[in-house]
Structure formats: C-alpha cells, structure tokens
Amino acid sequence: MYKQTLCFIRRNDEILMLNRENKPTQGLWNGVGGKMQSEEMPKECVIREVKEETNIDIRNYYLINKGIITWEVDNSYVGGLYVYLVEIEDDYDYQTPKGIIVFRLKDSNKPLLVIASGANQIDEKQIEKHLDDKLGKANADFVREHTGYVIGGVPPLGHTEPIQTYIDEDIFRFKDIWAAAGHPKAVIQLTPDELIEMTEGTVVTVK
C-alpha cells in the first residue's frame, strides 16, 4: 500500500488548487492531499486532509477513485499516491482557511501582515494605497525573525513583536473563519469580529 493521497475538488468547471507554502514544493500548485497516518485507509486520509487544508467536509460526498500515480527514483525507490475526485455543488461557497501573508516594507524594512479570504488573491497595489511605503517579498528568515513562526504557520497574533495588520473586508461574508495556529497543519476557528478585536487590524480591500 502506498502512503500518500491526492484529491481534486471540482465545482462546476472549476478545480480547487492550493499553492504550497513549504519546501520542497513551495510555490507549486496542486490538489489537496498528504501522507496517510498509521492504520489509515486512503479514503480516510483524503477526508481528513481536505478538512485540515480547506475546512471542506467531504464525508457526505461521493469520492471518485481516479487511480494511482506511481514514480521511481534512481531505479531503486518506488513511490505512489491514491488520486480521488470530489464534485461539489455549483453554488458551494468556499470557506477555506484564510491566507496570512507577511510582507516586508521596502523603506522601513518592517513586516506587514495581511489576512485575506482564501478565495481572494492579494492585489499589492490595493494594499499600497494605505501605506507610505512599498511592499516587498519576505523570505523565510525574515518571517521567522519578526513573527516567531515558519511560513505557512503564521497565526494572526502572538508574534515576537507588534506587527501592523490589514484584514480583508471579504471575511465578513463568513460566520466563522479559520486561520493558521502556529504550524502549517494547525488552524484555529474564530469569527471576523474576534479576529479584528484580537489583532487590532485595519479592514481594507485586498483584491
């Protein structure tokens, strides 16, 4: 039995893809999946991974088995993963974990935290309208130094220093939201109002 799974979630003619934040696949797009836990069956793994990574509960959906992908490295190691497809309603509203992105302000060299709805792509020009500075990319060392956490696990609060925070106005579409909780595999549940109160963040348009 292979030890990994991969699931593609289809809504009408769209496929939900996740952008990986951690090495060795950092920056790559893929479906939802991960390693099977001890004594876990492939379908059980898919259901758990989808819930952990997107907060979508697919227990009551039909999981279509699309086969197995295998690979070989140096003619010695052979690996593989189980691939599934789940079709959800055309009007399903994704309430995925919210994206927490750390930017480096170019002039001041200070961090800026942007908390965005999982459905939105951050438009840096929109963010810069609220700043007297320009946005720059924050590498892994910068993120860890200023937040105390690794990329992909940065929570909205509890950092090593106070960080200016902008919050996507679209999160108010949701009753509950999810955010990273200090580890790439951990999330916390809270309401938009709780998020603003705890972070003292500024609500802005990010897209």
* pLDDT, tens digit, 9 for 90 and up, residues 112-133: 999 988 767 788 899 999 999 9
* Predicted local distance difference test score (pLDDT) of residue 181: 85
Q: What is the pLDDT of residue 27?
A: 65
Mean pLDDT of 99-121: 89
Whether pLDDT at 12 is above 70: yes
Output the CATH code of domain 99-204. 3.90.960.10
Q: Could you tell me which of 128, 165, 120 has the C-alpha nearest to residue 146?
A: 165
Domain range summary for the chain, segments of one domain joined by +? 4-88, 99-204
Mean pLDDT estimate for the chain = 87
Residue with tokens 């999160």: 171
Band of pLDDT at residue 106, cut at 50, 70 and 90: very high
Confidence tier at 26 by pLDDT (50, 70, 90): low
> Residue 13: pLDDT band by 50, 70, 90 thresholds?
confident
Please report, for residues 17, 52, 63, 69, 182, the alpha-carbon distance to residue 40 in angstroms, rounded to integers and kept in the order given.
24, 15, 16, 19, 25
Report domain 4-88's class. alpha beta
